[in-house]
Structure 1
Amino acid sequence: MGNEPPELVQKRLWVQGRKFRYEVNRLRLPNGVEGEWDCVRHPGGALAVPITPEGQLVLVRQYRFAAQGRLLEFPAGTVEGGEDPLTTIQRELQEETGYRAHTWRSLGEFFLAPGYSDEVIYAYLATDLAPLAHPPDQDADEDIAVVLLSPQALQAAIDRGEGVDAKTIASFFLARRFWGGADFKER
């Protein structure tokens, strides 16, 4: 068997939600076997690893219905139709945390859960932070608290399994690699 893709036999849309859609696809594999695969189609998300000049990480503690609790996360948001992911996260950082970053660096992109979703996260390092003079009001459907943590405190929370989501964990380790270590202090 080579690298040829499976053949799409049938696509059925089951649910069209506010931010994503759920499909069931019937595929014929290169070996002739047919089966059904479920997929959540998502426009993608953008995430910032914001670091203050003092080396503190800016996170949010946000209520997540699917997890039935509050998770510790880096600020993130859904990429709106046709929007550049950097534009998305620049807006989201301000809306969710009340900070603006003057320097942005791409950390790369990754699939969040490719076993059932095509969602890609575009991760950025956000530095040269400054608080906004007049932070915008949060969206009415968000329950968010801003949290400043040292990299060591976030690492400890991850090690203890304390409600830190996967995109935050992955981006934390990408940022450490790009930033050049664990202390995250401005150079």
Structure 2
Amino acid sequence: MTFGHEPPELIRHRFSYSGRKFGFDVNTLRLPNGAEGDWECIRHPGGALCVPLTPEGELVLVRQYRFAVQGRILEFPAGTVEHSENPEQTIKREIEEETGYRGHTWQKLGQFFLAPGYSDEIIYAFLAKDLEKLPTPPQQDEDEDIETVLMTPRELEAAILNGEQVDAKSISSYMLARPFLNFNAYR
């Protein structure tokens, strides 16, 4: 991602944690404008997400249990970019693992920071079309509780407006994909 890079001055490193999926730093910094203070930052390798569209015009989503919110939320398939992968490899693997579908036509939609107030995580968004349902159901990881859900774009928008819990990366990516969806072609 290209942006104006003005690194802060590190005054004092206070704390670091490195976990399975992300790291966490606490530092005393001097910002480019001269302001000083303590900042916490979640360090993340980035994530890849796709908006999958079936030939029938349905979106493929997952309803996944998320321990942080203690409930199930509606999301598009996504995953953490592994060190040995690029974002496109990540999402092609994740869509199959999470939904049992394979995309045959891929389009980059863009990339964006997920929560730049406290994290450096970037989401790489893709549109996956010409989906094929794989013959064997997906094998979920031990720590996953996922249900595949098919919805039309109109049904997804209604769900969001009616208060169904949908994560921000999915809503943002859907908005990037929306110009490529033909609402008149679908039921």
Q: Return the TM-score normalized by structure 2.
A: 0.91
Gaps of 5+ in 2: none
Give the AA of the match of 1:36: D
Q: How does 1:47-126 map to 2 (within 5 A)?
A: 47-126=49-128
Look up the SS of the partner of 2:141 in the other structure: coil
Alpha-carbon RMSD across the aligned residues, in angstroms, is: 1.7
Matched with 1:129 is 131
User: After the TM superposition, which segments of 4 or more aligned residues of structure 1 sit over 4 Å from their partners?
Assistant: none
How far off its partner does 1:169 sit? 0.4
The answer (yes or no) to whether the contact 2:109–2:176 under 8 Å persists in 1 is: yes
Taking only the aligned residue pairs, the percentage that are identical comes to: 65
Gaps of 5+ in 1: none
Give the AA of the match of 2:13: K
Q: In structure 2, do the counterparts of structure 1 residues 148 and 31 end up closer, same or farther at CA, with 3 Å as the change threshold?
A: closer
The answer (yes or no) to whether the contact 2:52–2:60 under 8 Å persists in 1 is: yes
How far off its partner does 1:35 sit? 0.6
Aligned residues: 182
Question: Structure 1, residues 67-90: CA drift from partner, whole Å, max 9, x if none?
Answer: 110000000000001410000000
The answer (yes or no) to whether the contact 2:99–2:138 under 8 Å persists in 1 is: no
Q: How does 1:1-187 map to 2 (within 5 A)?
A: 4-177=6-179, 179=180, 181-182=182-183
Question: Structure 1, residues 87-137: CA drift from partner, whole Å, max 9, x if none?
Answer: 000000000000000000000000000000000000000000001122341
Q: In structure 2, do the counterparts of structure 1 residues 30 and 88 end up closer, same or farther at CA, with 3 Å as the change threshold?
A: closer
How far off its partner does 1:17 sit? 1.4
Give the AA of the match of 1:130: E
Give the AA of the match of 1:27: L
Give the AA of the match of 1:146: T
**C-alpha distance in 2, partners of 1:164/1:113?**
16
Look up the SS of the partner of 1:141 in the other structure: coil
**C-alpha distance in 1, partners of 2:132/2:182?**
23
